[in-house]
Amino acid sequence: MMQMDRRPCLDEFEKLLVRMNTPRVMIDNLGCSNATLVMIDSARKDGILLEAVQVLTDLNLLIKKGYVSSDGRWNMDVFHVTNLDGNKLTDDSIINCIQQSLGTIRDTRYKSMDGLTAIELTGTDRVGLLSEVFAVLSDLKCDVVESKVWTHNGRIASLIYLKDCDSGCPIEDSQKMESIESRLRNVLKGDNDIRSAKTSVSMSITHTERRLHQMMCADRDYERTPIIKTSGEYSAAVSVQNCLEKGYSVLNITCKDRPKLLFDIICTLTDLQYVVFHATINTTDDGAYLEFFIRHIDGTPISSEAEKQRVTLCLRAAIERRASEGVRLELCKADKPGLLAEVTRTFRENALNVTRAEISTTMGTALNIFYITDAFGNNVDSKIIESVIERIGSDCLRVKELPLASCKRNQQNEEGGIGGAVLLSLGSLLRRNLSHLGLMKTLS
């Protein structure tokens, strides 16, 4: 009888723990004149900030302003978000998705890619490399279902999800996998990358873009000298100082704003084993201005000039990796075996370099994005672009301009309605708390 009496109490206690540790999410469209406000209130837990930012960026939302505070045992984040066109969120399905995703976050793992085989590649970038990679996979009857490719400072990293063309199943034959890895490694090596070219079968379910950051950081791309000169449009000014009276290290970052900028920064800090306790994020037409108060996981600030230099280099690299320059080409075409090999071969034959790629297949349709430059990293002549489009098909390949993500905005928030006033006041309270702690600069 005693066991039967205690059991319901235990269940209620477990339910209480779940409620206490489940983030509370508030979304409001009335509290700000030019953005939707998203506030996340939760018990402090390592990785929860990255998970929240990841949810918002995976929905292709822009974080235009933000305040983070997580001292003690509680965490409060307020984000001002818009869609890619710079407008408030009005789609109920997106709003519901935000509420459900943020309200159930547990850790920073990514969706499982069941039914696919994942291959990781790193090596020295060169014109035509991607064409050779996809040609090998096509020759070995591998269907590329999804892939992302980044290049930075002369290095390339790619995560490719495959299935067998004949069976439509994951590739489980060990001999075939050895053949795939061996041939891809030879392609990556080329004539001058015998030691650093790597291929591996990935068992990780880490978020794909986070994994690409990890791969390039492990490849030490941040220390390498770029082979091809770039305009430096997305280069960042990063400073690191210690706030000894508060026990924090303070990072200040100034750079051009772009989609997923905050994710790339938070992702890098997390993987470098730093915890963000306070932060302010502000973006304008002129750029992005971010300030972070961080410590090591063990609670100590950055301790040496060498460590400061490494953090600076890693953050600059993280900001630059996704900001590939070049013309954006979008391919939408019925998928077929060897399609990627054909398209990238056309790029190679016209001496075009793919600086970044996002490849996906949905319902038998290939939806691929390529950023291309000439062999020297310069803008491609329009006549060459026209020739490539004509050869691949003007009905399926086109130049795509990015949405107007940074339109002019009124920086003054307007209160509207009870819900908006409540959420706006919470954001104001958070800003005041940061100011009282001496951890926030006044934003003009």
Whole-number Å distance between alpha carbons of 403 and 401: 6
307 with 341, same domain: the answer is no
Domain extent, residue 274, equals 237-318
Q: What are phi and psi of 264, to 5 degrees?
A: -60, -35
269 and 198 within one domain: no
**Alpha carbon distance, N-terminus to C-terminus of the chain:** 66
Range 78-100 average pLDDT? 93
Q: Tell whether 12 is covered by a domain.
A: no
Among 280, 299, 318, residue at a domain's last position = 318
Residue 255 lies in a domain: yes
Answer whether 0.75 is exceeded by the pTM: yes
Report d(CA 402, CA 439) in Å as an integer.
Answer: 35
Q: How confident is the model at residue 222 (pLDDT cuts 50, 70, 90)?
A: very high
How does pLDDT run across 182-210, given as a tens digit for each residue? 999 999 987 666 667 888 887 667 899 99
Structural domains of the chain, count: 3
Looking from the CA of 259 toward its CB, the CA atoms found within 13 Å total 16
Task: Look at residues 158, 285, 157, 288 and name the one whose alpha carbon lies nearest to residue 222.
Answer: 157
pLDDT at res. 47: 82
pLDDT at position 109: 41
**Same domain as 337, residue 189:** yes
Number of H helices, E strands in the chain: 11, 16
Question: Apex CA 198: angle with CA 194 and CA 201, to 5°?
Answer: 150
What is the pLDDT at residue 278?
95
Which CATH number belongs to the domain containing residue 78 in this structure? 3.30.70.260
The arithmetic mean of pLDDT across residues 107-111, rounded, is 44
Whether residue 103 is found in the same domain as residue 149 = no
311 and 338, same domain (yes or no): no
How many angstroms separate the Cα of 428 from the Cα of each of 78, 183, 438?
10, 57, 15
For residue 327, give Cα distances in angstroms to 37, 149, 186, 229, 331.
33, 15, 29, 16, 13
Please check whether residue 1 lies inside any domain of the structure: no
Maximum pairwise Cα distance, the chain: 85
Strands 248-255, 287-296: pairing kind: antiparallel
- pLDDT tens figures, 252-295: 999 999 999 999 999 999 999 999 999 999 999 889 999 999 99
Q: In the listed set 318, 341, 365, which residue is the last one of a domain according to the structure?
A: 318
Q: Are residues 148 and 282 in the same domain?
A: no
Q: How confident is the model at residue 430 (pLDDT cuts 50, 70, 90)?
A: low
In a domain, 292, yes or no: yes
Are 342 and 194 contained in the same domain?
A: yes
Residue 340 located in a structural domain? yes
Closest CA to 294 of 278, 314, 272, 317: 278
The amino acid occupying position 412 is: Q
Is position 90 within any domain? yes
- Same structural domain, 90 and 29: yes
**In the listed set 300, 318, 336, which residue is the last one of a domain according to the structure?**
318
Q: 166 with 38, same domain?
A: no
> Is the residue at 61 inside a domain?
yes
Cα Rg, the chain, nearest whole Å: 24
